Amino acid sequence: MQDKLIHALMRDGKKTQAEKIVSGVLRELKRRTSRDPILIFTKALENIKPLTEVRSVRIAGNVYLVPVTLGRARQEALAIRWLVQAARGRKRERTMVQRLCNELLDGAYGRGQCVRKRDEAHRMAEANQAYIHFRW
């Protein structure tokens, strides 16, 4: 799972820099919480993972948003992508280590931008339950 985070963080092929960020985040989580940082990381991902999403389907010239249940790999991919996007969007903290650490802590406690994004995806899927019969 950490490898996926490293690859999502990586820009312009700078893998070493992304690895330093992730190891710094794990160290910072350990220092702040005095608990296992991997457990905090997995707890945050569990809270961020979406169960459903909407996909657009074109039927007879009309486009419908159809709710679809997600597989585990897609859930993890979305969660990690949202986590990195939210961390990059935080402008209060100075370094990426601090940004990602705070976003992981927010995710672990069920708050933050990532959890809001997951809730929004679930709301969209629930609002479009009428079109579930268009699922392929």
- Each of the 136 residues of the chain gets a pLDDT tens digit; together they read 789 999 999 999 999 999 999 999 999 999 999 999 999 999 999 999 999 999 999 989 999 999 999 999 999 999 999 999 999 999 999 999 999 999 999 999 999 999 999 999 999 999 998 988 887 6
Tell me the domains of the chain and their CATH numbers: 2-134 (1.10.455.10)
Tokens of 68: 């679809």
The Cα 117–Cα 99 span in angstroms is: 17
pTM of the complete model: 0.90
